[in-house]
Amino acid sequence: MIEGLKFKLTGAELVELCRNTADYHLKKVELYATQLEVLGRSDEEIPEGYTSHDPKRDAMRKVREHERQHKQYKFLADHVVSGDEYLLSLQDLHQFF
C-alpha cells in the first residue's frame, strides 16, 4: 500500500524537470550578478525596493546560493538513468516548482 501521493516519472521527464530547474537557477545567478554590478558602481544609488542593510552582501549570497543549486540540478540531470522510472512524492516534486 502506498501512503500519500506518489507520481511515476520516466527518466526523460525527470531529466527535463532537473534541466528546467537548473536553467531557472542560472537565470537567477545572472540577475543577482547584474544587481551586484550595479551596486558596485560608486555613482549608482541602491535600487528601490531594497530593505536590507547590506544589499551587496545579500546579492553575493544569492549568487552563491543559486550557483550551488544550478550545479546540483545540472548534476542530477546528467546522472538520471533514462530508461528507469522514478516514483516521486509531492514533497520531492516541490523541489522543481
Mean local confidence (pLDDT), 1-5: 79
Q: Which set of grid coordinates corresponds to residue 6?
A: 506518489
Per-residue pLDDT tens for 37-96?
888 864 555 556 656 578 888 999 999 999 999 999 999 999 999 899 999 999 999 999
Total-model pTM:
0.81
- The three cell numbers locating residue 91: 514533497
Grid coordinates of 77: 540531470
Kindly state the helix (H) or strand (E) to which residue 27 belongs, with its residue range. helix 11-40
Q: Assign 2 a pLDDT band (cuts: 50, 70, 90).
A: low
How much is the pLDDT for 47?
Answer: 59
Please report the pLDDT score of residue 42 as a whole number: 47
Q: Give the domain ranges of the chain.
A: 6-43+52-96
- The CA R_g of the chain, rounded to the nearest whole Å, is 18
Sign of CA pseudo-dihedral 51, 30, 82, 80: negative
Of 38, 39, 36, 40, nearest in space to 62 by CA: 36
The three grid cell numbers given for residue 60, joined into one nine-digit string = 553575493
